[in-house]
Structure 1
Amino acid sequence: MNKAILSAATFAALTAAASAADLPRRAFPPAPIPVPVFTWTGAYFGINAGYITSTKDTARTAGVFPANVGVLTGNRPGVLRLPQDGFTGGSQLGYNYQFTPGSGFVAGAEVDAGYTDLDRRRSVVGQAGGISTFRRAGDFLGTVRGRVGYAFDRVLVYGTGGFAYASERYAGLFQTARGDLNFFGSRARVETGYAVGGGIEYALPTDSFLNVFHTNAVTVKAEALYYDLGQRTLPLMATGRGAGAYVTRFQNEGVLGRVGLNYKFGS
């Protein structure tokens, strides 16, 4: 009897084990796919265009010798404004480093250079009929700046500042009431100074129609810069029937606002 019971139990156990071996194994759930996180780290290059205008643009003139009394008598302008504004456009090259991907602080550097449509000529007639003409023109403006900002994922808000340089031309001439030239001076040089400002930049989604590369690498930006290239003193030397000399001091400060498009490597 006991042998029969033991045999039945053994058979039942073997049957259950065989049935269990035929059951499908439990599959583990698939590993979650990580969501890509945008980072501003990487080198970039791009183009920009905008509007530039002068903020301090006064030409101040004085006689050098006691006989040069044209300013004192009102025949020559002691103070004359030469406001300028126009188009600016160029390109930039830079590098950013983001300390934490997604949102976090970003530091970098940028070099840019662009054409500036700044050219102003102005003539006035003095009390004794003397004709005084001044001109100031700028062909290009460039900067070498650091950038520090904070990224909210694809949006970067930043401040910037650094070295500025520009090509400038100055000229002044005085004529008599009859139109005879009696004082003249001109100079062309590269001026240096500084620029500060700030802006906002946005990384386009891959499905944006502006993102022709269909990657995370295209960004658009808008920024404003204030630049100060100091002052330049221009001597106006006597010619023809003139005697002695005058000096004119030009100011060179302004602001620009522009938009830009960048292609960023390493996204």
Structure 2
Amino acid sequence: MKKILLALTAVAAMTGSASAADLASRPYVKAPMPAPVANWTGFYIFGGGGGGLSNADQSVVDTVSGTPLTITQRQGGSGWFGTVGAGYDWQFSGTWVAGVFADGQFGSIRATIQDPFNGITGNQKLETSWAAGVRLGWLAAPNVLTYVNGGYSGAHFGQTNFTDLAGVPVGAHLNSYNRNGWFIGGGVENSLNFFGISSPGWFMKTEYRSAFYSAKTQDELFDVSNVPVGNSIRANSWNQTISTSLVYRFNWTGPVVAKY
């Protein structure tokens, strides 16, 4: 009987040692880390460029009497531009983002200006403009923002030099001038990680914008004397642009995670 008890005790001791050895050999597994949390609140800067279309609703007016000599007609053109700007966004209610921004554009977007009575034509060129506005967006994904925007804008139009229909300068022009207006638009902004590029803080945005500037009446002037030719041109400006910009967001410093 004593021999049987001793044998059972020995078996139990060996079994316990083997189980303890098995437990000690299991690898340590860390608890899973939480997914990164995107935060769109903060300042950003951007720069880029694009192309645009310009349209001018215009009519010819008698300089002395102010009587319209033609019905209003629309002339168009196109060109390119560069842009730089800055802004601030607030993320709220989880997937909504609101912000304010300001930017400037420089380039050459042209629209045709014509006086059929004098047989002359020229280009009204949008050289520089600026905009200040607000935007409201919705996060289609944690790192993809779709948005609409709108606000106030100002523009500088360069001097329009006239030629005849054969393209020969006629020695007449319209002076350069400034006009104010408003704009609306929208676009998509996403982190470059969306394309598999590891670049914290760097984003890309593509935006459409439509800007409207009020009409101005200008005298056609001789180049040398600046004396009116006899007619004036009244024209407004409507510009549509598409741009792509590289954006850097200062707040995008990485996820906040718990430590284990």
- Among 89, 92, 97, the alignment partner of 1:99 is 92
Distance change >3 Å, CA 225–CA 79, structure 1 → 2: same
> What is the TM-score of this pair, normalised by structure 2?
0.71
For 2:111 and 2:185, locate their aligned partners in 1 and report how far apart those are by CA, in whole Å. Answer: 25
Name the % identity.
20
For 2:68 and 2:46, locate their aligned partners in 1 and report how far apart those are by CA, in whole Å. Answer: 51
Distance change >3 Å, CA 172–CA 60, structure 1 → 2: farther
Distance change >3 Å, CA 201–CA 125, structure 1 → 2: closer
Distance change >3 Å, CA 202–CA 148, structure 1 → 2: same
- Among 163, 173, 181, the alignment partner of 2:152 is 163
Residue 229 of structure 1: aligned partner: 213
Runs of 4+ in 1 over 3 A off after TM superposition: 28-32, 68-71, 77-82, 119-126, 170-175, 206-209, 236-240, 242-245
Show CA shifts across 1:90-109 (max 9, x none).
Answer: 21211111125xx4110111
Distance change >3 Å, CA 120–CA 163, structure 1 → 2: closer
Larger Rg: 1
Report how many aligned residue pairs link the two structures. Answer: 224
How does 1:17-166 map onto structure 2 within 5 Å? 32-55=32-55, 57-65=56-64, 71=69, 81-100=74-93, 103-120=94-111, 126=117, 130-151=118-139, 152-166=141-155
Distance change >3 Å, CA 82–CA 116, structure 1 → 2: farther
The 8 Å contact of residues 52 and 116 in structure 1, kept in 2 or not, is answered as no
Residue 156 of structure 1 aligns with an amino acid whose one-letter code is L
The 8 Å contact of residues 48 and 92 in structure 1, kept in 2 or not, is answered as no
For 1:165 and 1:243, locate their aligned partners in 2 and report how far apart those are by CA, in whole Å. Answer: 27
Distance change >3 Å, CA 150–CA 69, structure 1 → 2: closer
Given the alignment of the two structures, is residue 199 of structure 1 paired with residue 187 of structure 2, yes or no?
A: yes
How does 1:215-254 map onto structure 2 within 5 Å? 215=200, 217-236=201-220, 245-254=230-239
For 1:156 and 1:69, locate their aligned partners in 2 and report how far apart those are by CA, in whole Å. Answer: 51
Greater alpha carbon shift after TM alignment, 41-50 vs 193-202 = 41-50
The CA RMSD measured in Å over matched residues stands at 3.8
